[in-house]
Amino acid sequence: MAIIEKEDFSGIKRTIPGVYGKFQSPTSQAVNLDLNTLVIIGGADNAPYYGDTTKSFEERYITVGSFQDAKNILKGGELLEAVNLAKSPAKDTEKPVFNLSKGASLYKLVNINPNVAATITLDSTKATNTHTITYGMPGTYGNKVRVRKILADKKIQVNTPDGSSESSVLEKKVFELTYTGDATTAILAIDSTGITVILTGQTDESTNLSVLFADYPRLGDAIEYINSQQGYVAIMLDVPSFELSNLDHIEAAEAIDVKLIKTIHADLYAEIQYIEGTGLGKFTTIATVRKPLADMTVFKFFSGGSIGTPSANDMKGAIDFSKTITGMFRNVLTSNISDLLYFKSACSDMIASGNETVGGCGGAVPTSEILSVRQANARQLAGYVKYGVSPFYAYDLNGIKKEYPGYMLAVLDNAISASVSPRISATHKYLSPVLDTSEVLSRDIGGDLEKTIQAGGLAISRKSQSQPFWIERSITTESALNPIKTDSATFAGALTSVKTIRERLEPLIGMSTVDKNAKVQGVTEQDLIREFDSALQYLMEQGFLVGSELLGITPFDEEYKLRLDGDAVYVEMKGRSFSVINFIFFLIGLEEIQGTV
């Protein structure tokens, strides 16, 4: 069957309804992105593995709003070190209006280490029956966690290096059951298929009870059925929607006689809800006979948790995985040039397909990669990504001075922009974490600093020993002469402009056009114009589009082309991007004082 397609400005035929836009420096379409989000891909000591297909997509990466949140989960590893550096990337003292010290609003962390979660096997109240719990976060931290069940109190205690906790009473009373007939015994049994009561010696019309969970899966229906049977009385103690398959089991050998009122429990269910609800772990194996955990006189540790070693392809796999994780800024913690080229290609693919992002990567420390190799790698990338060349010293997670590689400098660069706005450049912003560098680049004309910038690399320097370090110039590795492509802030700003217009127009998709005199709801031509005007005005107010009073240039042309073609609307407009002031040249003529009094 033929489907009507429309061709966008790039010549791409579109069949999926949506708002598609681009700016005319790099070709791109915009999607809904968080402008203050930093996505980081690297290794963590305690984190889910991106490649664990037994988990849902959202469960395979971590989203946190602060370094402390990240520390509470990750405990250690390079991902946490990156967040530690990014949490306060630059000083506010020189440019207090920018508020650069707060870091990104959101961190989305993708772990490449195939960590193994610790487990624990606990006895149930039925002899030889055990339940297995897998700790909630893969990695080594689970090995330091221990638990204890106090049967008399029906409570679970948990001890971790971060503190101790105790549950409330884990008891769930579901319903009461009584047999009122004249049988000698009425023995109750509950298993995975249902509830039975076997009578002996009855002379009245009461019969054995059988409540199959397949027929009566929920408590409310089962109570109604039981009460309709002669000789049985059931009183509901929980909600009617409770699933009876969660009941604790009672074996016939226990000889529970319901001639006396019996309270039916789901205590194991309560324990599962507590352990899984608090994030402590997940019951990965539940014994065939459902019984609550047995009493424990001493604590027992989880064990078997380990930090996995990533394969040669894990970084590339994580890069692919992260393509659908939104965030204007993203970084990879590797210096492997093969991975970096793959990352650059992935960022280009994301931009081309409508998922704008500004990538950051970089080189290794000087003892692993000499300066000329790092400069060559920056030139080789030649795309819309940043490449950190300079190493630097900063305090690690334990407060010890440590040398960090160039790819961590790219994290600082992206974190500065993510702190406030994509239009904020990291150029000449004092870097809070940086203490020193082992590689001082010559500022001479034709020196290493100039060569690094010409290669498209990020370099740190300082004017004098009394000043903090800064990034000399925040650029992408793109070698084009157009500054919108090469300056990282204007590039991010251009992507943001497209994103903003798209978000303003997205609600119009799926709506029908109407004449301006129509009495029904719909979209008129003037509605379209108002939406475009509103978006452009907003971009001007937020500093993404600027004019020049001196030159008599407006932030955007108020007259633009709008063309209708059936179900497609084409709009061509012109705006003026902001610029980052990288150079100020001045000439002052000086003369000696001459004259006669």
Q: At residue 278, what is the residue type?
A: T
At 284, give phi and psi (nearest 5°). Answer: -90, -20
**For residues 494 and 573, which has the higher predicted lDDT (pLDDT)?**
494
Question: Is pLDDT of 377 > 70?
Answer: yes
- In this prediction, residues 464-478 reach a mean pLDDT of 91
Question: Is pLDDT of 3 > 60?
Answer: no
**pLDDT winner (highest mean) among 156-170, 349-363, 530-544:** 156-170
Question: Is pLDDT of 100 > 70?
Answer: yes
Question: Is pLDDT of 358 > 80?
Answer: yes
| 69 DSSP assignment | H
Return d(Cα 524, Cα 529) in angstroms, integer. Answer: 9
Bridge pairing between strands 194-200 and 155-160: unpaired
Element (H, E) at 227: helix 219-227
- Of 101-115, 560-574, 582-596, the poorest mean pLDDT is in 560-574
pTM equals 0.86
Question: Is pLDDT of 175 > 70?
Answer: yes
Give the residue ranges of DSSP H helices in 459-557.
483-486, 488-505, 525-541
CA 394 to chain centre: 26
Residue 566 burial (CB count, 10 A):
8
- Of 86-95, 486-495, 584-593, the poorest mean pLDDT is in 86-95
Q: How confident is the model at residue 574, as a pLDDT?
A: 86
Q: Kindly list the distances between the CA atom of residue 59 and the CA atoms of 47, 111, 305, 478, in Å, as whole numbers in the listed order.
A: 10, 11, 18, 35
**For residues 178 and 444, which has the higher predicted lDDT (pLDDT)?**
178
- Integer-rounded Cα Rg, in Å, for the chain is 33
N- to C-terminal Cα separation, the chain: 98
Name which of 353, 343, 352 is nearest 318 in CA terms. Answer: 343
**For residues 508 and 222, which has the higher predicted lDDT (pLDDT)?**
222
Q: How confident is the model at residue 98, as a pLDDT?
A: 66
Burial of 441 (0-12, 13-18, 19+ CB in 10 A): buried
| 83 DSSP assignment | H
- In this prediction, residues 480-498 reach a mean pLDDT of 86
Residue 100 tokens read as: 């650069």
Q: How confident is the model at residue 22, as a pLDDT?
A: 53
Q: How confident is the model at residue 5, as a pLDDT?
A: 43
Residue with tokens 């992105």: 33
CA torsion 509-512-516-520 (nearest 10°) is -120
Bridge pairing between strands 232-236 and 173-179: antiparallel
Q: How confident is the model at residue 142, as a pLDDT?
A: 97
pLDDT digits (tens, 9 = 90+) for 87-98: 999 986 555 556
- In this prediction, residues 124-138 reach a mean pLDDT of 95
- Of 5-9, 280-284, 355-359, the poorest mean pLDDT is in 5-9
Q: How confident is the model at residue 421, as a pLDDT?
A: 87
Return d(Cα 459, Cα 447) in angstroms, integer. Answer: 12
Residue 513 tokens read as: 């056009």
Q: At how many degrees (to 10) do helices 488-505 and 525-541 cross?
A: 150
Q: Kindly list the distances between the CA atom of residue 293 and the CA atoms of 14, 32, 256, 504, in Å, as whole numbers in the listed order.
A: 58, 47, 20, 55
Name which of 139, 110, 116, 113 is nearest 321 in CA terms. Answer: 110
Q: What is the DSSP string of 191-226?
A: -SSEEEEEEES--SS---EEEETTT--BHHHHHHHH
Give the residue ranges of DSSP H helices in 93-176.
none
Question: Is pLDDT of 18 > 80?
Answer: no
Q: How confident is the model at residue 394, as a pLDDT?
A: 97
Q: How confident is the model at residue 16, as a pLDDT?
A: 44
pLDDT digits (tens, 9 = 90+) for 21-44: 655 443 333 333 579 999 999 999
- Of 45-49, 74-78, 579-583, the poorest mean pLDDT is in 579-583
Q: At residue 142, what is the residue type?
A: G
Question: Is pLDDT of 570 > 50?
Answer: yes
| 95 DSSP assignment | -
Confidence of residue 74 (pLDDT cuts 50, 70, 90): very high
Q: What is the DSSP string of 36-49?
A: TEEEEEE--SBS--
**In the predicted model, what is the mean pLDDT of the chain?**
90
Bridge pairing between strands 146-150 and 155-160: antiparallel
- Of 5-9, 185-189, 383-387, 536-540, the poorest mean pLDDT is in 5-9
| 78 DSSP assignment | H
Query: Do the beta carbons of residue 310 and residue 113 sit within 8 Å?
Result: yes
Q: How confident is the model at residue 31, as a pLDDT?
A: 35
Bridge pairing between strands 329-332 and 358-362: parallel
Name which of 255, 316, 289 is nearest 124 in CA terms. Answer: 289
Q: HSE (CB half, 13 Å, CA atoms) of 574? A: 8
Q: How confident is the model at residue 26, as a pLDDT?
A: 33
pLDDT digits (tens, 9 = 90+) for 300-348: 999 999 999 999 999 999 999 999 999 999 999 999 999 999 999 999 9
Domain borders along the chain are 20-113+309-490, 119-170+272-301, 173-265, 520-597
Return d(Cα 191, Cα 413) in angstroms, integer. Answer: 60
Return d(Cα 541, Cα 543) in angstroms, integer. Answer: 5
- In this prediction, residues 387-407 reach a mean pLDDT of 97
3-state helix, strand, coil in the chain (%, to 5): 25, 25, 50
Q: How confident is the model at residue 571, as a pLDDT?
A: 84
Q: What is the DSSP string of 287-311?
A: -SS--PBPP-SS-EE-B--BPPPPP
Name which of 482, 504, 535, 404 is nearest 89 in CA terms. Answer: 404
Q: How confident is the model at residue 289, as a pLDDT?
A: 96
Q: What is the DSSP string of 535-588?
A: HHHHHHHTTSB--BTTTTB-SB-S--EEEEETTEEEEE--B-B-----------
Query: Do the beta carbons of residue 411 and residue 72 sit within 8 Å?
Result: no
